[in-house]
Amino acid sequence: MSHIGNNIRKLRTVKKLSQAAFAELFGLARPSVGAYEEGRSEPKMETLIQIAQHFGLSVDLLLTKELTVNDLHRFDIFQQQIQQKTAAETQAEADRQPHVTPLVPAARMLEYIVQHHSPAFVDGLPPLTFPHNLGATTRAFELTGADMQPTLRHQDVILCCRIDKAAPALRTGEVYAFVTQSRLLVRRLAERRLDSPVLKLRADNIDYTVQDFDLTQALEIWEVKAVFSTHLRPPVAMEERVARLERQVEELLARQ
């Protein structure tokens, strides 16, 4: 005995569908749905397949088992878990994909200022590939000058994420790159007043003074997330003393 009529009624009850709404889902006439539920006729096989696929069930289950409301609720929960797992796996796979970041060499900075809004120009910049995705839009800039030493040095490459110019979320103490009409300005945010577009920026090099910067001058704003450097920093005196003490302790322990 087929249970399809009772199961269609249960499906409609759980999904809060009228006979007319159910019929519209599968291109049926409303009286046909009533006939299925009353056992006066049964749907064609192609209709059964459509119903089963739509509700995440098997045709065999629809025909051979009288499903309860609790059964159908459990199927809903199971389907949601599968969908959530699939979404998580999709995101994990996306995170594993290498992320390409355009690099702006120092020699092309003025060219970038003029054409930064051109997708064709940006796509033609040298690509850097990283194993992680820091955001939808990233950029790498080659630095010049000594104004951010010792944190950042001449010819270091900074990896940045875009900051929305319309509502820039800037945090005191963080390093930002501002693309202006004339240069790339990399500074640490010293102070910001919410009622003013003027920021106070400072260089890490103590020979440079704190400066005011009007946000309206920025063509682009980038937050510095990482730095790639070929400069190997020599150990400072304190680090050398600690290393020497550690070696002496190791020698003493080895003699015991």
- pLDDT under 70: residue ranges of the chain: 1, 69-98, 132-133, 233-240, 243
The two structure tokens encoding residue 116: 């930064």
Q: Beta strand pairing status for 99-104 and 138-142?
A: parallel
Are residues 83 and 141 both part of a single domain?
Answer: no
Q: Is residue 45 part of a domain?
A: yes
Q: Is residue 42 part of a domain?
A: yes
Q: Are 227 and 153 in contact (CB under 8 A)?
A: no
Q: Which residue range(s) make up the domain with 82?
A: 4-93
- Predicted local confidence at residue 64, as pLDDT: 84
Of the candidates 67, 93, 119, which is a domain's last residue? Answer: 93
Are residues 193 and 87 both part of a single domain?
Answer: no
Measured CA distances, 164 to 110, 153, 188, 214, 223 (Å): 22, 27, 18, 15, 10
Cα–Cα distance measured from residue 81 to residue 76, given in angstroms and rounded to the nearest whole number: 9
Q: Is residue 248 part of a domain?
A: no
Are residues 8 and 29 both part of a single domain?
Answer: yes
Of the candidates 93, 124, 155, which is a domain's last residue? Answer: 93
Are residues 118 and 68 both part of a single domain?
Answer: no
Of the candidates 93, 115, 132, which is a domain's last residue? Answer: 93
Q: How many structural domains are present in the chain?
A: 2
Phi, psi of 184 (to 5 degrees): -100, 120
- The CB density around residue 64, as the number of other CB atoms within 10 Å, is 13
CATH code for the domain of 82? 1.10.260.40
Q: Is residue 254 part of a domain?
A: no
CATH code for the domain of 129? 2.10.109.10
- Predicted local confidence at residue 163, as pLDDT: 93
Measured CA distances, 171 to 42, 191, 202 (Å): 66, 9, 13
The two structure tokens encoding residue 61: 């289950």
Q: Which of 134, 91, 141 is nearest to 116 (CA)?
A: 141
Dump the DSSP string for the chain: ---HHHHHHHHHHHHT--HHHHHHHTT--HHHHHHHHTTS----HHHHHHHHHHHT--HHHHHHS---HHHHHHHHHHHHHHHHHHHHHHHHHHHHS-EEEEEE-GGGHHHHHHHTT-HHHHHTSPEEEESS---SSEEEEE--SSTTTTTS-TT-EEEEEEE-SSS----TT-EEEEE-SS-EEEEEEEEE-TT-SEEEEE-SSTTS--EEEEGGG-SEEEEEEEEE-SPPPPPPHHHHHHHHHHHHHHHHHHH-
pTM: 0.56
The two structure tokens encoding residue 193: 């007043």
